[in-house]
Amino acid sequence: GLSSGRLAVLSGPSHAEEVGRGMPTSVVTASASVDTARTVQEAFFSPNFRVYTSDDVVGVELGGALKNVIAIAVGICDGLELGDNAKGALIARGLAEITRLGVAMGARPETFAGLSGAGDLITTCISRHSRNRYVGEQVGRGRSLEEVLDEMVMVAEGVRTAEAARKLALRYGVEMPITEKVHQVLFEGYDPRRALEDLMLRQPKPEVWGWA
C-alpha cells in the first residue's frame, strides 16, 4: 500500500457545479509530506482554483466530513422556518463541536477556522447545491428520511456520517449535542422541532470553556 507521505486529501468549499463553470474556488490539500502537498497544490492550482497546503490530515478530513451533519441540522431549521438567527447559531456551535472532536483526535484547532472547516461548513449550510441541507429541510417539513433518500439521485453523505460521528463522540468522550440531535431525528424517529427546542434548553454555560 501507499505510505502516508504519498497520500494527500483535498477539501474545502468546492461545489462541483461552480468549479465546473470556472467560478473562483479555494481549497486546501493536506498530507503528512510537505512535498506531496506541494505537488498536489501545483497540479490543481489555476487562476480560478486556489490551493493552500496543510500537514493536518486528520483536521482537514474531519472538517470535510462532519460539516455535512451540521448542514442537515441547518436544513431542518430551514424546513421548520425558524429563521436566520437559529441557522447562524447552529453553524457557529456546530463548528465548535467539530473542533472539539478534532482536537480530541489529534487535529489542530486552527485547521477548523480554515477552508476545510468554517469555509466548507458555511458553504454547505447555505448553498442551494447542498444535498445534505436539502435532506434536513425535507425532514424538517415532515417527510421521512427514507422517502427523501429514495427520490435523490446523488448521495447525501451526512446521513451516514451522523452515525459515524456519534460513535466517535462517544469513543473520545466529546460532547456533540447538535450531532446527537441529528442522529435522533434521522434514526430514532425524534421530532425535529423538539430536537431544536432541546438544544435551546440545554444548561447555560460559557461560550468558550475556561472563561468563568
For residue 67, indicate whether it is catalytic: yes
Residue with cell 458555511: 122
- Residue 19's SS3 state is helix
Q: Which positions ≥6 away from 127 have C-beta within 8 Å?
A: 15, 133
**How many Cα atoms within 13 Å fall on the side-chain side of residue 172?**
18
Q: Which of 41, 30, 28 is nearest to 5 (CA)?
A: 30
Distance CA 67, CA 14 (A): 13
Q: Which of 202, 168, 183, 174 is nearest to 76 (CA)?
A: 183
Which residue is catalytic, options 67, 87, 167, 205? 67
Residues identified as active-site: 67
